[in-house]
C-alpha cells in the first residue's frame, strides 16, 4: 500500500517538479493538489501552465484542486511548495492537524525546533521532531529542506569537515527556475547577469551552520564555521553552479578532497542517486546543460578541484528544482518513512 501525499503550491515551478517526480513513485501516491484560492474546484490539467516536461502526468490531469485547508486534504504527507509568506500560516495548520509537512519554504528552516535536513548530511537532526511536537502540542510536524544554493554547497562541505574545514567563500551562478514561474522577466536576464538575489546570501551563509551543527537532545548547536556568499542570477534554465573556496586548519591536498567527496555514502532510498557527489576530471566541467541530470538530478557534480595558497577551490553544480527543492523534500519524506516516523 502506498502513502497518500498532497502537494501545496502544485501549479508553481517546484510544485510541478513534485508532481513530475511523484508520478510512479514506489511509496507515494498523489491524493490532493492545492494552489491559490482561485484554483479551488478547478481541474489541474486545465489550470496548470505545465512547463517541466511535454505533458501533465495522467495520474493528476483530471484531479480537482482543493482548498489549502487540512479539512480538504486527504494525505499522510503534505509537500509544501508555497511562497514563504503563505507557508507561514498554512504549514502550522497542517502540522497541528496531524499531517507530516515536508517543506521547501524558507519560513521555518532556521526556527529552533524545526529540523533542516539533508539525508546524507544530518539525518540525526530528525530527532528534533520530538522536541517540536512537545513544544507545540502538535500531532504532526514540519521538516524542512535547505535553500537550493545551500544544499549543493553543504553536500560538498559535509565530507570536508573531517579534513579541518574552517571557512568557506562561495560565488553562485543561479538558474532562472530558482526564481519560480514566471520568475525574472526575459528582458531583464537575457544577455545579462544580475548580481543580487534578495535574501539569498543570508540563507547560504546561515543554513550550513545549522545543517552541520550537532543535536544536543534539545536543540541544534551550530557548527563553528564561517561562510561568506555572493549570489548571482544567470541566464540558465536549470542548474545552480557555485565556485567555492574552502580554507582548512591544516594542509589539505586535492587527493584528500577527491577521496572525501567520493566517500560520501548514498542511502538506500528510492530517490537516492547511486553517487551523491560525482567528481569529474574534465577541465571544463561541471556545466549545467551537460551535468544537471546526473543521478536523475539528485547527484551534485564537482570539478576543477585545485589547491591555492588559502586552501582548496572547486566548482559544484546541481539541479536546483530536483536536488535543490522537490527531490530534496521527497528524499526527506522517504527517510522519515524508513525511520518509522510516518
Ligand atoms: N524554484 C526553486 O528552485 C526553489 C528551490 C528551493 C526552494 N524554493 C521555494 O519553494 C517555494 C515555491 O517556489 P516556486 O519557485 O515553485 O514558486 P512559484 O513558481 O511562484 O509557485 C508558487 C506556488 O504557490 C501558490 N501560491 C502563491 N500565492 C498563494 C497564496 N496566496 N495562497 C495559496 N497558494 C499560493 C501558487 O499558486 P497559483 O499558481 O494558484 O498562484 C503556486 O502554486 C518558495 O518558498 C521558494 O522559495 C524554490
Residue ranges per structural domain of the chain: 3-146+325-338, 148-320
Supply φ then ψ for residue 301, to 5 degrees: -115, 130
Class level of CATH domain 3-146+325-338? alpha beta
Choose the CATH number for 148-320 among 3.30.360.10, 3.20.20.70, 2.60.40.10, 3.40.50.300: 3.30.360.10
Q: Using CA atoms in the order 146, 149, 150, 154, what is the torsion angle rounded to 10 degrees?
A: 120
- Specify the residue with its C-alpha closest to ligand 1, atom 30: 36
- Specify the residue with its C-alpha closest to ligand 1, atom 28: 36
CA distance 269 to 239: 23
pTM: 0.98
Q: Is 208 in the pocket of ligand 1 (CB under 6 A)?
A: no
Provide the residue-wise pLDDT of the chain in tens; the chain has 342 residues: 899 999 999 999 999 999 999 999 999 999 999 999 999 999 999 999 999 999 999 999 999 999 999 999 999 999 999 999 999 999 999 999 999 999 999 999 999 999 999 999 999 999 999 999 999 999 999 999 999 999 999 999 999 999 999 999 999 999 999 999 999 999 999 999 999 999 999 999 999 999 999 999 999 999 999 999 999 999 999 999 999 999 999 999 999 999 999 999 999 999 999 999 999 989 999 999 999 999 999 999 999 999 999 999 999 999 999 999 999 999 999 999 999 999
Q: Is 86 in the pocket of ligand 1 (CB under 6 A)?
A: yes
- Specify the residue with its C-alpha closest to ligand 1, atom 21: 12
Q: Is 148 in the pocket of ligand 1 (CB under 6 A)?
A: yes
Q: Strands 240-248, 165-174: parallel, antiparallel or unpaired by DSSP?
A: antiparallel
**Catalytic entry in 125, 231, 240, 319:** 240
Amino acid at each position: 500500500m502506498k502513502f497518500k501525499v498532497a502537494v501545496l503550491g502544485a501549479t508553481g515551478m517546484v510544485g510541478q517538479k513534485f508532481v513530475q517526480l511523484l508520478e510512479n513513485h514506489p511509496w507515494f501516491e498523489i491524493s490532493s493538489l492545492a494552489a491559490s484560492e482561485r484554483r479551488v474546484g478547478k481541474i489541474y490539467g486545465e489550470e496548470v501552465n505545465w512547463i517541466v516536461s511535454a505533458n501533465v502526468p495522467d495520474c493528476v490531469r483530471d484531479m480537482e484542486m482543493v482548498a489549502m485547508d487540512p479539512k480538504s486534504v486527504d494525505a499522510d504527507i503534505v509537500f509544501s511548495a508555497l511562497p514563504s509568506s503563505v507557508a507561514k500560516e498554512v504549514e502550522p495548520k497542517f502540522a497541528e492537524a496531524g499531517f507530516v509537512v515536508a517543506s521547501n519554504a524558507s519560513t521555518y528552516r532556521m526556527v529552533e525546533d524545526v529540523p533542516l535536513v539533508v539525508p546524507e548530511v544530518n539525518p540525526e537532526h530528525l530527532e528534533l521532531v520530538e522536541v517540536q511536537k512537545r513544544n507545540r502540542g502538535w500531532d504532526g510536524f514540519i521538516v524542512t529542506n535547505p535553500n537550493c544554493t545551500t544544499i549543493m554547497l553543504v553536500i560538498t562541505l559535509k565530507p570536508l569537515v573531517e579534513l579541518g574545514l574552517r571557512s568557506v567563500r562561495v560565488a553562485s551562478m543561479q538558474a532562472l527556475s530558482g526564481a519560480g514561474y514566471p520568475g525574472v522577466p526575459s528582458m531583464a536576464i537575457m544577455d545579462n547577469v544580475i548580481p543580487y538575489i534578495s535574501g539569498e546570501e543570508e540563507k547560504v551563509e546561515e543554513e550550513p551552520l545549522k545543517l552541520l551543527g550537532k543535536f544536543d537532545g534539545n536543540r541544534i548547536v551550530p557548527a563553528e564555521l564561517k561562510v561568506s556568499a555572493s549570489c548571482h542570477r544567470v541566464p540558465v534554465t536549470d542548474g545552480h553552479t557555485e565556485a567555492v573556496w574552502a580554507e582548512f586548519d591544516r594542509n589539505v591536498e586535492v587527493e584528500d578532497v577527491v577521496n572525501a567527496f567520493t566517500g560520501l555514502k548514498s542511502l538506500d532510498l528510492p530517490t537516492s542517486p547511486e553517487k551523491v557527489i560525482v567528481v569529474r576530471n574534465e577541465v571544463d566541467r561541471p556545466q549545467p546543460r551537460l551535468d544537471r541530470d546526473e543521478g536523475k538530478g539528485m547527484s551534485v557534480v564537482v570539478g576543477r578541484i585545485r589547491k591555492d595558497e588559502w586552501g582548496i577551490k572547486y566548482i559544484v553544480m546541481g539541479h536546483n528544482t530536483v536536488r535543490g527543492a522537490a527531490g530534496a523534500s521527497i528524499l526527506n519524506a522517504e527517510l522519515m518513512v524508513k525511520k518509522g516516523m510516518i
